[in-house]
Amino acid sequence: MNKQTRASSKTTDFDRLNRDWYIDKAVQILVFIGGISAIVFIIGIFIFITKEGMGFLLGDFSFKEFFLSPNWRPTSENKATYGILALIAGTASVTGLAMLVAIPFSLGTAIFIAEFATGKTREFLKITVELLAAIPSVVWGFIGLAIMNPLIIDIFDVPVGLNVLNAGIILGLMAAPIMTSIAEDALKAVPDRYREAAEALGATRWQVIYKVVLPAAKNGLLGAVLLGVGRGFGETMAVLMATGHAINIPGSVFDSVRALTATIAAELGETAVGSPHYKALFTIGISLFLITFVINLIADLVVRGVKKG
């Protein structure tokens, strides 16, 4: 046996800490820093928006007024009021309508892609859905403004086409592709042996879906819906451009409204750093952060539940 390597590089002292060992340790520390970055950023986001909005939280407004008053008049000369109820109503109405559009269509599409479509059709649909999900929100806002607006005015014979209906449809179309892909993943996660077992008993495809697949994927589908809600709720540019931007508790889908996110986007540029108005906008940001955090948390727990079961 040729002994060139052992004689030279290998001694009995195999436990020497060599260069490779130190490099390995260094890399371990570096990637750990990368690993905790997500946590650092989430905490950072909370700390920084709280820091900017805190003065307002501590001082000059009552929680009751903030959340229950519909009067958002931050620039009023004699008495500025900061009530976000109308904004909440705006966000809720638009998101609600969007979900009415998005939930049935995205779940239907997901079932079609996962259970009925085959081969090239399926591949095509999956790619299309993925591409639809990629369209930037400012483009959706522009579509609401330039295409949906005149369409709504024409069809429904209303004076203004920028309203709950417009933003709701836009937001629904935006959220649907994402909900579709998550829902499809949930359906795909149902093991094929369930389907095979049901089919062996003579069930049709639809019976298999209805009786076996949907119950098994229930939590994953709920997770998809929740993430869609979170997405619609936090959407900014599209609702800024398509809602008509009027502070208003809507009475019908043809009323213009204004959303929480859009208010920040529209007004933050004009406020002085540290002013009550500025702080009020950050306080809206804190509320948005906390609500989406809770939605994501619940979605995660729900989806995790399905994995255990």
Look at residue 162 and give its three-state secondary structure: coil
145 binds another protein (CB under 8 A): yes
Six token digits for residue 123: 């591949």
Nearer to another protein, 42 or 197 (CB): 42
Q: How many CB atoms lie within 10 A of CB 127?
A: 10
State which of positions 69-98 bind another protein (CB under 8 A).
Answer: none
Contacting residue, 224, 261, 276, 277, with another protein by CB under 8 A? 261
**Distance of alpha carbon 183 from alpha carbon 108, whole angstroms:** 10
236 binds another protein (CB under 8 A): yes
156 binds another protein (CB under 8 A): no
Contact between residue 81 and residue 71 where contact means Cβ atoms under 8 Å apart: yes
Please choose, from the candidates 79, 88, 78, the residue with its C-alpha nearest in 3D space to the C-alpha of residue 283: 88
Q: Which stretch binds another protein (CB under 8 A): 67-75, 181-189, 212-220, 288-296?
A: 288-296
- Show the site string, 202-231: x = touches another protein by CB under 8 A, - = not: xxxxxx-x-----------------x--xx
Backbone torsions φ then ψ of 62, nearest 5 degrees? -100, 145
Count of residues in contact with another protein, rule CB under 8 A: 105
Contacting residue, 60, 130, 154, 196, with another protein by CB under 8 A? 130
Q: What angle in degrees, to the nearest 10, is found between the helix axes of 19-58 and 276-308?
A: 130
12 binds another protein (CB under 8 A): yes
Torsion of CA 85, 91, 92, 94, to 10 degrees: 140
Q: Specify the DSSP class assigned to residue 199.
A: H
265 binds another protein (CB under 8 A): yes
Six token digits for residue 270: 């004009």
Q: How many CB atoms lie within 10 A of CB 124?
A: 12
State which of positions 25-44 bind another protein (CB under 8 A).
Answer: 27-28, 30-39, 41-42, 44
Nearer to another protein, 251 or 304 (CB): 304
Q: Which stretch binds another protein (CB under 8 A): 59-67, 73-81, 92-100, 169-177?
A: 169-177
Q: How far is the CB of 79 from another protein (least distance, A)?
A: 26
Report the sign of the C-alpha dihedral through residues 41, 45, 46, 50, in that order: positive
Nearer to another protein, 38 or 58 (CB): 38
Q: Measure Cα distances from 171 to 4, 106, 159, 205, 227 in Å.
A: 70, 13, 22, 32, 13
Q: How far is the CB of 203 from another protein (least distance, A)?
A: 8
**Distance of alpha carbon 78 from alpha carbon 80, whole angstroms:** 7
Which helix or strand (DSSP H or E) is residue 297 part of? helix 276-308
Nearer to another protein, 32 or 156 (CB): 32
Q: How far is the CB of 268 from another protein (least distance, A)?
A: 5
Contacting residue, 60, 68, 116, 215, with another protein by CB under 8 A? 116
307 binds another protein (CB under 8 A): no
Torsion of CA 153, 90, 69, 52, to 10 degrees: -130
Contacting residue, 93, 180, 181, 243, with another protein by CB under 8 A? 180
168 binds another protein (CB under 8 A): no
Q: How far is the CB of 95 from another protein (least distance, A)?
A: 12
113 binds another protein (CB under 8 A): yes
Q: How far is the CB of 39 from another protein (least distance, A)?
A: 4
